């Protein structure tokens, strides 16, 4: 069994010795794969639709123009609220798109950016997340081995979350859990999740950490700021700075030290994360950190929607953190239904990256990560 320490000591060499079954035995109809796993996608459940339909305050469902169901969401520190298209995921459309574009598997996650961790009482979160996880398990079981899954978990109740993570591993066949990134804005916030990470270490879990607010029970989060001027630019600034803050906490503090068998994936390249390396690495050394780059490389970052619109950032991240710490992801399924197309992400990265970088991001990193979880 591999752990994070072993990942960082010759991960690519390890990958070369692993079974290449994922690459040579396609699970889909399109033939030779272009990528093994899309590590960043979202699933909107019937359970969520049913739950939201009963609410009278945001987040709630409303009927928009032409009778289209929309989610009227609450404004949070990470996103502006208001109505937007919302529908349960169409698994058959998703499978057709994966087949068409040559992706063998996809990680299914709760849409953390909806902000339920911050906008719903913990009692409602427990009920909703358990129903979501049960439904997701049905999808994974029915379409095995096309999908991997992580459980929806509340940051505000790490003891219950640890219990649900254990159930997700042992009963539902999941590989880990999903969490809101702002729970990791500071070390004080991260430490509130110790009971969950203690369980994750025993379970050899993978955490998918997505941009989003956590409950106000978690300290150290950024304040709610709703920009009134140039909002189109300032929300991007907020998003990328929040992503970087969480990545710095998990990369440079001692929080992950007791959890070498827990893998951590932060979406969207960690925002400004790698763009700060030239400043924070010397600063870390000056403050007594012996090998800050090695510490920062404890986490994985995924390409997410940046694989289409920020290909230059992906290249830059390869240079700074190493292509062996980057997972391919597309952000498929935002808003549910059959929304999304994994093809443009592959097309853009195929042009932007070197052959060695593509080999690592599309194939080798997935083999190493799955092998660390006892999967192939």
Instruction: Output the pLDDT for position 223.
Output: 87
- Is 145 part of a structural domain of the chain? yes
Lowest mean pLDDT among 31-35, 218-222, 268-272: 31-35
More confident residue, 355 or 336: 355
Give the model confidence (pLDDT) of 292-321 as tens digits: 999 999 999 999 999 988 899 999 999 999
- Is 80 part of a structural domain of the chain? no
Can you tell me the mean pLDDT for 97-115?
96
Q: Does the pLDDT at position 282 exceed 50?
A: yes
Instruction: Output the pLDDT for position 336.
Output: 53
Q: Does the pLDDT at position 349 exceed 80?
A: yes
- Is 61 part of a structural domain of the chain? no
Give the model confidence (pLDDT) of 139-151 as tens digits: 999 999 999 999 9
Can you tell me the mean pLDDT for 238-245?
94
Instruction: Output the pLDDT for position 224.
Output: 77
- Is 60 part of a structural domain of the chain? no
Q: Does the pLDDT at position 30 exceed 80?
A: no
Q: Which residue bears the tokens 């994966």? A: 98
Cα three-residue angle 333-373-252, rounded to 5 degrees: 80
- Is 79 part of a structural domain of the chain? no
Can you tell me the mean pLDDT for 259-285?
97
Distance CA 232, CA 212 (A): 18
Q: Does the pLDDT at position 342 exceed 90?
A: yes
Cα three-residue angle 223-228-232, rounded to 5 degrees: 95
Instruction: Output the pLDDT for position 323.
Output: 98
- Is 358 part of a structural domain of the chain? yes
Torsion of CA 76, 226, 43, 48, to 10 degrees: 40
Cα–Cα distance list, 352 to 198, 303, 306, 318 (Å): 39, 13, 12, 11
Distance CA 371, CA 20 (A): 11
Distance CA 260, CA 270 (A): 20
Cα–Cα distance list, 238 to 60, 112, 215, 311 (Å): 25, 16, 18, 20
Q: Does the pLDDT at position 218 exceed 50?
A: yes
Can you tell me the mean pLDDT for 48-73?
92
Helix (H, G, I), strand (E, B) or coil at 21: helix
Name the pLDDT band for 17 (thresholds 50, 70, 90). Answer: very low
The answer to whether the CB of 128 falls within 8 A of the CB of 120 is yes
Instruction: Output the pLDDT for position 339.
Output: 63
Instruction: Output the pLDDT for position 24.
Output: 35
Q: What's the domain range around 127?
A: 4-46+89-372
The DSSP letter of residue 82 is E
Residue 102 belongs to domain with CATH number:
3.20.20.140
Instruction: Output the pLDDT for position 7.
Output: 35
Global pTM reads 0.91
Name the pLDDT band for 347 (thresholds 50, 70, 90). Answer: very high
Distance CA 277, CA 291 (A): 13
Side-chain-side CA neighbours of 321 within 13 Å: the count stands at 30
Instruction: Output the pLDDT for position 113.
Output: 93
- Is 84 part of a structural domain of the chain? no
Instruction: Output the pLDDT for position 84.
Output: 86
Name the pLDDT band for 338 (thresholds 50, 70, 90). Answer: low
Averaged confidence pLDDT in the chain = 90
Lowest mean pLDDT among 74-78, 108-112, 370-374: 74-78
- Is 55 part of a structural domain of the chain? no
Total tally of structural domains belonging to the chain:
1
Helix (H, G, I), strand (E, B) or coil at 37: strand
Q: Cα dihedral sign for 79, 80, 85, 87?
A: positive
């Amino acid at each position: 069994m591999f752990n994070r320490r072993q990942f960082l000591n010759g991960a690519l060499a390890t990958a070369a010795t692993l079974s290449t079954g994922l690459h040579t035995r396609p699970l889909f109809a399109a033939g030779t794969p272009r990528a093994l796993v899309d590590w960043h996608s979202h699933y909107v459940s019937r359970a969520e639709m049913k739950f939201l339909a009963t609410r009278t305050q945001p987040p709630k469902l409303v009927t928009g123009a032409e009778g289209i169901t929309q989610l009227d969401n609450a404004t949070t520190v990470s996103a502006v609220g208001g109505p937007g298209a919302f529908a349960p995921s169409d698994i058959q459309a998703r499978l057709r798109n994966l087949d068409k574009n040559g992706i063998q598997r996809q990680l299914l996650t709760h849409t953390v950016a909806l902000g339920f961790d911050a906008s719903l009482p913990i009692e409602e979160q427990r009920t909703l997340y358990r129903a979501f996880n049960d439904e997701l398990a049905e999808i994974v079981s029915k379409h095995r081995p096309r999908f991997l899954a992580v459980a929806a978990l509340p940051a505000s109740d790490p003891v219950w979350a640890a219990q649900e993570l254990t159930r997700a591993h042992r009963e539902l066949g999941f590989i880990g859990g999903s969490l809101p990134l702002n729970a990791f804005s500071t070390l004080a916030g991260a430490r509130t999740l110790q009971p969950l990470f203690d369980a994750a270490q025993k379970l050899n879990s993978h955490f998918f950490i997505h941009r989003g607010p956590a409950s106000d029970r978690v300290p150290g989060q950024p304040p709610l700021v709703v920009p009134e001027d140039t909002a189109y630019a300032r929300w991007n600034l907020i998003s990328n700075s929040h992503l970087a803050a969480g990545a710095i906490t998990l990369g440079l503090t001692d929080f992950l030290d007791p959890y070498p068998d827990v893998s951590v994936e932060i979406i969207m390249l960690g925002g400004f994360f790698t763009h700060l390396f030239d400043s924070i690495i010397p600063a870390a050394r000056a403050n007594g950190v012996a090998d800050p780059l090695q510490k920062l490389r404890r986490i994985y970052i995924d390409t997410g929607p940046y694989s289409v619109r920020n290909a230059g950032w992906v290249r830059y991240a390869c240079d700074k953190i190493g292509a062996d710490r980057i997972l391919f992801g597309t952000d498929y399924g935002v808003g549910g239904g059959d929304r999304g197309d994994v093809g443009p992400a592959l097309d853009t990265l195929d042009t932007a990256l070197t052959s060695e970088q593509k080999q690592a991001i599309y194939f080798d990193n997935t083999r190493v990560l799955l092998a660390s979880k006892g999967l192939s």
